[in-house]
Amino acid sequence: MGELLADHTTLRLGGPADRFLTHTDPASWPDLAHTAAGDAAPFVLDGGSNTLAADTGYPGTVIRMDTRGVAVRPLGGDLVEVIVRAGEPLGSLVAFTVAEGLSGIEYLGGIPGTTGAAPASPRTASARSRDHRTGSSGSPWPTSRL
């Protein structure tokens, strides 16, 4: 039997995937993508918090993104660029930026899931920071930068 999706989703539901690939090393992505290329509709799975899988499983390839890592590149002045691998948990990223004294994505704290999935998930993609003192909305999740 293939890998059970129930073991990879928050709701603990989902039968086996026909084929289950785990992506951990960016250098091996071309090989993994080539392996999955024959599949008509490979499904990319990250933390599984926004995914409901059928009991009958997935009739194709599931690619589990499990790449980790955060890097910071100074841009000059007070600005930095934070480069994050897709499988990095969103909570870890927020904790990292706070620990580094970087501000801007604190409003994403507490949202389950991974950094790569957040822009792909409609709810998170439309999330906006909110100033609780004024009630005004701040910058949207910067999908164009991810």
Binding to ligand FAD by residue 13, rule CB under 6 A?
Answer: no
Binding to ligand FAD by residue 46, rule CB under 6 A?
Answer: yes
Q: How far apart are CA 139 and CA 83, in angstroms?
A: 18
Binding to ligand FAD by residue 49, rule CB under 6 A?
Answer: yes
125-144 positions binding ligand FAD, by CB under 6 A = 127
Contacts of 30 (CB under 8 A, 6+ apart): none
35 phi, psi to nearest 5 deg? -60, -40
Q: How far apart are CA 142 and CA 19, in angstroms?
A: 33
Q: How far apart are CA 18 and CA 26, in angstroms?
A: 23
- Residue 61 CA: distances (Å) to CA of 16, 21, 30, 40: 10, 7, 16, 9
Q: Which of 17, 21, 45, 94 binds ligand FAD (CB under 6 A)?
A: 45
Q: Give the residue closest to ligand FAD by C-beta.
A: 113
Given the complex with ligand FAD, which of 55 and 78 has the nearer CB atom? 55
Q: Which of these ranges, 13-21, 34-42, 49-57, 128-136, lies near ligand FAD under the rule CB under 6 A?
A: 49-57
Residues that bind ligand FAD (CB under 6 A): 10, 43-51, 65, 86, 111-114, 116-118, 120-121, 123-124, 127
